[in-house]
Structure 1
Amino acid sequence: MPLALAHTNLNHSAGTQSLLIQCLAEWGGGLAIAADPYRIPESHPNWAGERFTLVEWRPIDVAGCYFPPRLTRGEYEDALKTLGEHIRRRSPRPVLVGGDFNAHALEWGSPSTDSRGDSTLLWAARHGLVLLNRGRASTFVGARGESIVDLTWATPAAAIRIKGWRVDASFLGEMSDHRLIRMELVSIPAEESLRRRRHEKERRWALRKLDPGALEVSLLSSTWPEPNPTRSVEEEANWLGDAMSRACDASMPRCRPVARKATYWWYEELAQLRRATVAARKRYTRHRRRGTDAEVEVAAGALREARSALRAAIRRAKADAWRELVSSLDRDPWGRPYKILTKQYRPWAPPIMETLDAQFLDDVEAALFPTREKDIPERVGRPSG
């Protein structure tokens, strides 16, 4: 199954950062490179960030970078050199690099090549990187023009695993001047076969759909032959595990994990506002190219209003979701808030107690809370005298 991979420049916008997280939820997870983020949550296991960051992700390494326009050519080349050293250390691992280079070159669709473009091309050739950008779609669309400054590079070993590179303007609702770059990480046949076998082993069974009769028949068929007294303890353990797995497969289906398609604060009104913002941006772009000054001014005002409405709606949605979570403390103190705090909240799986055998739960209850009649002796009084 392909894995989603994306990168863009967030322009230090809280609304754009929230929409990027929602995009990952809609795709069922993945990895995103966010240049110039609004903030990086402290001590968060799913976030990492500096001027450039390199992480190990499945079969490849992914490096994210941002080179702001204020850097001089010397500073830019020093930053490229440092990034190249990190890439060299990861050899022979496949590496993908994505980010905002703020560089222009004919090789990726710019009308001309500037000094940064020359430095970038030399740096890429030195490290054996190939350019994944396709077509001439602008990755930056601002009030003063369009350009291609967001680039994706990869080593040959990583490039063969990347499919569907494209520029997408719809998911971020045009909240940023930078477009979202999307692609998919695919597995080569041998890795895909291994992943499927591993995934099949890790999937648990749907206990609620258990067929007791089929379970009993399968266990009887497994234990029908005479036991082999010459088998070792390890062989007996392996046989028992295989027999139980076959019995479970015969009597109940495997569970299918369902990925969440939205963040905790997302709802349909936000999706409508995002679509309205995309439409307003398209009208503005169309009028700027072929319309009058008055039409451009009206379209720009409509785009500003649409962006403001979407940002305000996201802030309200997050505030409402937080208030609902806090209020649930009184209704269910050991529920979702407690599980989030202790990292035990798993929305894709039923509670662990529901997967345990009923007789086992009865035995545990009897051991923890013994009844007076059976388990607690009567108190003996003090001897007289």
Structure 2
Amino acid sequence: MAAFLQINTNRSREAQALAFHTMKVKEADVLCISEPNHIPDHLGWVGSTDRKCALFFQQNQYVLRTGSGAGYAWADLKDIRIYSCYISPNCTFNEFDVFLYRLFGSVRGATSEVIVAGDFNAHSPAWGSHKTDPRGDALLEFAESLNLVLLNDGKVPTFPRANSFLDLTLVTKGIMRKIGSWGVLEDESLSDHQYVFFNTRMPVSSVQTEKNGWSWRKLDTDRLDKFIAEAITPLSMTAEASSTVLSELLRNACNAKRFIQMGEEAMPLVVTNHCGTPEGMLTPAYEQGARTGWSTRCDFEANNREEAKASTGNTQHVPCAGALPEPMEGGQACSSPKREIGDTFGPDLWD
């Protein structure tokens, strides 16, 4: 069984630190964060290209591929692709539409069951809101086009201050039948949003947990001190919470060597890849203006790109709106796992 914790930390340092503690207490495998305070360049993290949302994994998860775009980050696990999303309430509807357009192309390229979790700042009675807005209508169209099912029951608001239901969880029908539970937690989050916790009977890892073991003779204390100094810790916590966070921090630091030595067979993460399309570069398929439906627009996109390749002879990359998964946006298997994992995490603490 796989467990997921979802939260908008509202860029709060304390809320993000508490989210790690809650993840441990609830025994969650994956943490989906909107508006993080910080996205470390450490093993176990996947962040969006605009750094507004991220995924964090427990150490024993087997992540096959990762990818990201503006407003979303994703990772392929054993039989699941999980997304963390965020779009600001201050952006225009056109910007929101472009965000959904690009997210649609990424989700459509998945070959496994999909979970889309995030703060979309959209309103609809379908998930408990007392009103509807154009964003809500667009999001419902997005979900319908991808055959996604909403897990929110509309009973408990995820943004209590405004009695709003902003944090949503969408899944494919294959996962819907295997959801064990979904709910908004009453636990303190130190954010203006509440935690969302859900689990599924589908496993996220096919790798057996290895027994921890470290050699103190190889420990580089200077690098260990630097790792701890760069880690996010709250300004104030209870003694019990502080001991838990410190224990987890030390275990993560000591396990760095183990991840690098595992190599290709049990590689937890690969380097995040994403589409390099400049913001605002849209092809004629999108600029038609009228909402012609997600599938139709993406088919137009594919035809335009094929025609461009044929006319230019360029078979490597044709700039696009990012709606269809590019080789870079879709993520790639790591061809040199030891080198790339080392680059992602930083210096080896045990050399």
TM-score of the aligned structures, taking structure 1 as reference length:
0.50
Q: How far 1:321 moved relative to its partner? A: 5.0
2:169 corresponding residue in structure 1 = 152
Aligned identity (percent) is 28
Tell me the residue number matched to 2:128: 109
1:98 maps to what in 2? 117
Aligned partners of 1:338, 1:137: CA distance in 2, in Å?
38
Aligned counterparts of 2:196 and 2:135: Cα–Cα separation in 1: 21
Alignment root-mean-square deviation, CA: 3.4
**Corresponding residue to 1:66 among 73, 77, 86:** 86
- Structure 2 SS opposite 1:28: coil
Query: Structure 1 residues 70 and 314 mapped into 2: Cα distance closer, same or farther (>3 Å)?
Result: farther
Query: By how many angstroms is 1:71 displaced?
Result: 1.1
Aligned with 1:151: secondary structure?
strand
Measured in 1, the distance between the counterparts of 2:189 and 2:168 equals 19
Superposition deviation, residue 23 in structure 1? 1.6
Change (3 A) 1:152 1:29: closer
How far the C-alpha of 1:169 sits from its partner, in A, is 2.1
1:166 aligned to 2:183?
Answer: yes
Larger RCO of the pair (alpha carbons < 8 Å, separation 6+): 2
CA contact (8 A) 2:4 2:28 kept: no
Q: Kindly provide the CA deviation profile for residues 331-370 of structure 1, in whole angstroms up to 9, marking residues without a partner as x.
A: xxxxx8994563489xxxxxxxxxxxxxxxxxxxxxxxxx
Say whether 1:313 aligns with 2:237.
yes
Structure whose alpha-carbon radius of gyration is higher: 1
- The normalised TM-score by structure 2 is 0.55
| Residue number in structure 2 paired with 1:210 | none
* Distance in 2, Cα, partners of 1:114 & 1:102: 10
Aligned-pair CA distance for 1:26: 1.8
**2:52 maps to which residue?**
none
- 2:193 maps to what in 1? 178
User: Per-residue CA shift, 1:318-337, capped at 9, x if unaligned?
Assistant: 8x959x98xxxxxxxxxx89
CA distance in 2, matches of 1:5, 1:141: 21
- Gaps in structure 2 of 5+ consecutive residues: 49-70, 212-227, 229-233, 261-351
CA positional deviation for 1:311: 4.6
Q: Please identify which structure carries the higher helix content.
A: 1
Does the 8 Å CA contact 1:67/1:102 hold for their aligned counterparts? Answer: yes
C-alpha distance in 2, partners of 1:79/1:135?
Answer: 24
Aligned to 2:43: 45
| Aligned mates of 2:33, 2:192 — CA distance in 1 | 14
Distance 2:171 2:259 in 1: 37
- Please tell me whether residue 87 in structure 1 is matched to residue 114 in structure 2: no
Task: Supply the distance in 2 between the matched residues of 1:10 and 1:57 (Cα, whole angstroms).
Answer: 24
Question: Which SS does the other structure have where 2:129 is aligned?
Answer: coil
- Which residue of the partner structure matches residue 302 of structure 1? none
User: CA–CA distance in 2 between the matches of 1:169 and 1:34?
Assistant: 17
Matches within 5 A, 1:264-275: none
Equivalent-residue separation in structure 2 for 1:344 and 1:164 (angstroms)? 32
8 Å Cα contact 1:15/1:314 also seen in 2: no
Instruction: Name the SS of the counterpart of 2:191 in structure 1.
Output: coil
- Residue correspondence of structure 1 range 172-321 to structure 2 within 5 A: 173-187=188-202, 311-313=235-237, 317=242
Q: Which runs of 5+ in 1 are unaligned?
A: 205-263, 265-309, 326-335, 346-385
Contact 2:5 2:28 (C-alpha < 8 Å) held by counterparts: no
* CA distance in structure 1 between the partners assigned to 2:154 and 2:136 by the alignment: 17
Partners of 1:321 and 1:32 lie apart in 2 by 19
